[in-house]
Chains A and B, each alone.
Chain A
Amino acid sequence: MASASPDDIEFRSVTKAYGAVTAVRDINLAVPKGSFLALLGPSGCGKTTCLRMIGGFEQPSEGKVLIDGREMNGVPAYRRPVNMVFQHYALFPHFNVAENVAYGLKQMRPRIAQGEIDRRVAEALAMVRLDGFAKRRTHEMSGGQQQRVALARAIVNRPSVLLLDEPLAALDKKLRSAMQIELQTLQRELGITFVLVTHDQEEALSMADQVCVMSAGRIRQLGTPQEVYDRPADLFVADFVGKINRLSAVLEADHATIRLADGTALNVGARPNVPAGAVTVAVRPEALRFLGAGEDAAGRTVSGTVTHRIFLGSGVEYAVDIDGLGDFLITADRGGHAAEESLSAPGDRVRLAFDPAAVHVFSSMDPA
């Protein structure tokens, strides 16, 4: 498979088994140079095992892992052109910050001159905004700062691939969003391939340009963040990436009309790929719109009673008991800075319209 620009990482039918337990099953995956891939899935889905196979800490039981077009089976971690940012940073406690960052450079053969090492360490520390911390002991630093040291220690080597194992999991929410932006900026500046492992869908969607959703050792969907959110391949992806309301329904023979449990028929547009019959419908919380008095959306309207209102600041989340269908979670904009009286309150009767494009229909045979 020769192409103009070889993929940085390629998995060819990779399986990893630990005794009777199969962590990764027959994965095929190509990560183009310079892209930012997120491996997203619940714990135990095999995402970390995939990352560790790229890093060289695990060897595949079957199949091949290629980096830069070179087969890596049997190549130990210390001979791979990749660097990893560990979940718990794994800084060397007996070294100061500069010594930690210089460690990889000092191992390189032929040797790099000390002056060059010092220059690159300073440059890497500047890049993660830790200038002036060179002589600091790592245990005197905050979690966020240790995270930056770990990052500097990896990027200073200019690897072709940077691996990130849940790098933000140990940080508080505010720091996490700041680091998300920094990581994205860093990736663009360096132009190297980033592979991020996370169980946090928000993190994956906001940072990566390709999201690979995994479960039970398999890839469920690979696509841009918008693709996996707007066009989930199956119910598992729909459920894992964002919130959904789940309904049982029947898809009529026209492959466009779904009949809900209460008898309502909704036209959701042609779904030629879903077999007619019993289906599971996934509706995003933002796919239902409140209708004002007199407003009407022909054939797509349901009514219900608000049971809870959760004020989120930028928006409002409602729990609505829809007649004949049960509880729904619905998010709504505040509509500018609407006065509190204009928001629906628990007990209010409301009418809602489905956005047909945002209704996902899956065959009930689909595993989830």
Chain B
Amino acid sequence: MRALVTFVYVFLYTPIVLIVLFAFNSGRSASEFTGFSTQWFGKALSNAFLMDALENSLIVGLTSAALATVFGTMAALGLERVSPRTRAVFDALFAAAIVVPGVVIGIATLVALVEVFGIANSVIASVWPGAQPPRLQLGFGSIIAAHGLFTMALVTMIVKARIASLGRDIVEASSDLYATPMTTFWQIVFPQILPSVLAGFLLAFTFSFDDFIIAFFVAGSKTTLPIYVFASIRRGVTPEINAIAAMVLVASLILILSARFLMRDRTATQ
């Protein structure tokens, strides 16, 4: 049993360790270690295409995470007030959004967007007074929409769990002490759910930042960081890719650990 567990972990983590290791290779090979060097990190950071893709990823990640956090938190708060049956339906829908494979979400979103854009563009063209009507097309908007929708489910699940552990007692106590619903929200509920809202934001950003599959389908001509890495691999792997991967890995780990820290069970301290 122990041997099997060890094998599984070795199998899972060896490639990751190797990727990070070869990021420090001085040679051009991603398979033959010839010496220690940080030159590939420098190369990666001065690569204009890469920096452009990184900027795109940051724009998409921050925007979609912000949207997902606002709407996901509102959904979690709203679901507290609906009938148990309605809540069960939405819980199932949110869970479905999380378990459906990215490839399905990607294709489905692409098909839906293309259809909608087709109809919308013909309507716009028919009413546009000028000769060059604006056309809706795939790009930032579509990636942000696709990521935002998916990660909203994530945020809702996280914030809902926190609201459920709050109980209605302190909300009623606040109301009993003359606070209007608005005051109760900002003074009592929001400070209590804030850590889970931030955790939801971090996870949403991490997901969007790391996502390749959904973005690949709906990105149009835009290149995000994972799409750039995928394209570069097809031109041949150099340790520059390893350096990018190592940096993304560290950034993601920091974000996820921060989210875990924010979501930790704080009943022990209450």
- Chain A positions within 8 Å of B, measured between CB atoms, are 55-57, 76-79, 82-84, 86, 88, 90-94, 103-104, 107-108, 139, 153-154, 157
Interface magnitude class on chain B:
10 to 19
Contact of A83 with B172 at beta-carbon distance under 8 Å, contacts A93-B192, A93-B270 already known? no
Asked if A86 meets B172 with Cβ closer than 8 Å, knowing A92-B188, A94-B191, A94-B192, the reply is: yes
A303 to B245, CA, bound (A): 94
Q: For B177, what are the chain A residues with a Cβ–Cβ distance below 8 Å? A: 78, 83, 103-104, 107, 153, 157
Q: CB < 8 Å: which of B173, B183, B187, B192 contacts A90?
A: B173
Binary interface encoding of chain B residues 132-161 relative to chain A, with 1 for a CB under 8 A from any of its CBs, else 0: 000000000000000000000000000000
Q: List the A residue with the shortest CB-CB distance to B172.
A: A57
Q: Verify A139–B269 contact, CB threshold 8 A.
A: yes
- A92 touching B174, Cβ below 8 Å: yes
Say yes or no: B269 contacts A107, CB within 8 Å: no
Q: Nearest chain B CB to A153's CB is how many angstroms away?
A: 7
Which one of A77, A94, A157 contacts B172 once the chains associate, using CB atoms below 8 Å?
Answer: A77
Contact B270 A78 (CB under 8 A): no
Bound CA span A153–B177, Å: 8
A-B contact count (CB 8 A): 62
**In the complex, what distance in Å separates the CA atom of A94 from the CA atom of B179?**
16
Q: Give the top 3 A-B pairs by smallest Cβ distance, nearest first.
A: A104-B177, A90-B169, A90-B173
Given contacts A78-B179, A90-B172, A93-B170, 5 further A-B contacts (CB under 8 A): A86-B169, A86-B172, A92-B170, A103-B187, A139-B269
User: Could you tell me the distance between the alpha carbons of A308 and B197 in the complex, rounded to whole angstroms?
Assistant: 62
* Interface pairs (5), CB distance under 8 Å: A56-B176, A57-B175, A86-B172, A107-B179, A157-B177
> How far, in Å, is A99 (CB) from chain B's closest CB?
10
- Which B residues are CB-close (under 8 A) to A90? 169-170, 172-173
Q: Is B178 an interface residue (CB 8 A)?
A: yes
Q: Does A84 lie within 8 Å of B191, measured CB to CB?
A: no
CB contacts (< 8 Å) of A79 on chain B: these are 178
Instruction: Name the contact of A77 in the complex, choosing from B169, B175, B188 (C-beta under 8 A).
Output: B175
CA distance A30 to B188 in the complex (A): 35
Which residue of chain A has the shortest Cβ distance to B192 in the bound complex? A94
> Which residues of chain B from 216 to 270 have a CB within 8 Å of any chain A CB?
269-270
Residues on B with beta carbons closer than 8 Å to the beta carbon of A55: 172, 176
Find chain A residues with CB under 8 A from B173 CB.
Answer: 84, 86, 90-92
B180 contacts chain A at the CB level, 8 A cutoff: yes
**Contact, CB under 8 Å: A78 / B180:** yes
Whole-angstrom distance between the alpha carbons of A79 and B176 in the complex? 8
A interface footprint on B189-208 (CB within 8 Å = 1, 0 otherwise): 00110000000000000000
Q: Which residues of A contact B174 (CB under 8 A)?
A: 92, 103
